[in-house]
A = this chain, B = another copy of it.
Amino acid sequence: MSILAVGSVAFDNITTPSGRVENVLGGAATYFSLAASYFTQVRIVAVVGDDFTSEHEKVLIRRGVDTRGIEHAKGKTFRWGGHYMDSLNEAKTDFTELNVFETFQPQIPADYKDSNFLFLGNIHPTLQSAVRLELSEVKLTGGDTMNFWIQRTNPELQETLKLIDVLLINDTEAKMLANESSLPRAARKVLAKGPQAVVIKHGEYGATIFFREGAFGVGRHPFRAPALPLEEVKDPTGAGDSFAGGFMGYIAAQPELNREVVKRALFYGGVMGSFAVEEFGTERLQRLSREEIDARFQVFRELTHLE
């Protein structure tokens, strides 16, 4: 079934120990959509400027992504520059130019309103809430946020959390959102704010999903999926968004939603994150096959499963 992804499309300058690229297509919604496109139909709502050409759009179209929800505004596309010279776990931002993204007001095309799955990328929580409330057919909403919104728009974010079924954030964000240094306690506090489940992403150590009692089935035990111990990570940019795309994409493609599906989705999230970091920007995500993805899923299984 269709996933609607709302978030940023950007051009990035990225420096890592493996090299440097400039003006490469990026943004959370781009990584998410490409990753999810290997599992299901994806629709995207975003804003771009005059510098976003039909060549850029074709990157998404070739993967079957419905790009009619991309608004073309006057001005330049969101631009971000960052480097990972000290640690591959954390980007240091060199510059952020919001450009047309600064006044982004997501417009949902009429044809998108029957979307059953929704991913709310990291945008202002009030915009996230507005998008969710416009869609009446949604079965599952995934959402992201970041430190900036946790600190600057906390009351609005608390309202958004009531509308999100699965929140996907990293360790630092979880601890900040819950004001709690223990991850399991942070997870419990986040779940009390509304979501059925929270996925906490640990970078190279994988991710853990914590469930509300009874969410997606029986029990409230957490579940953990690994990340692949890769000898070379060329570019960590977009790993978290690709994880979200694999996670949501797998779920959207299943005939039913239960706890076992969610667990497998967590593994597929790790799989897509592991592909994303193998090359700069979205290069690797543009030319995968479902066979490669399923083969890596088996590698992830062998990495963690006893006989």
Contact = CB atoms under 8 A, between A and B. Distances in A.
A137 B303 CA distance: 32
Contacts of A56: none
A304 B302 contact: no
A21 interface: no
Nearest to A227: B224
Interface in A238-265: 260, 263-264
A148 interface: no
A193 interface: no
Contacts of A205: 202, 205-206
A183 B222 contact: no
Contacts of A182: 88, 230-233
Interface string A159-192: 0000000000000000000000111110110000
A287 interface: no
Contact of A263 (B208, B210, B224, B306): B306
Task: Tell me the interface secondary structure of chain A in the complex.
Answer: mixed
Contacts of A111: none
A223 interface: yes
Contacts of A230: 182, 184
Interface string A74-111: 00000000000001100000000000000000000000
A4 to B, nearest CB: 28
Given A88-B181, A231-B188, A222 B303 contact: yes
A88 B88 CA distance: 23
A163 to B, nearest CB: 26
B305 A229 contact: no
Contact of A306 (B208, B231, B267, B303): B267
Nearest to A222: B229
Contacts of A231: 182, 184-185, 188
A171 B171 CA distance: 18
Interface of A: 87-88, 181-185, 187-188, 202, 204-206, 208, 210, 221-226, 229-233, 260, 263-264, 267, 299, 301-307
6 contacts: A88-B181, A185-B232, A188-B231, A205-B206, A225-B304, A305-B306
Given A87-B181, A210-B229, 5 more contacts: A182-B230, A224-B226, A224-B229, A267-B306, A304-B304
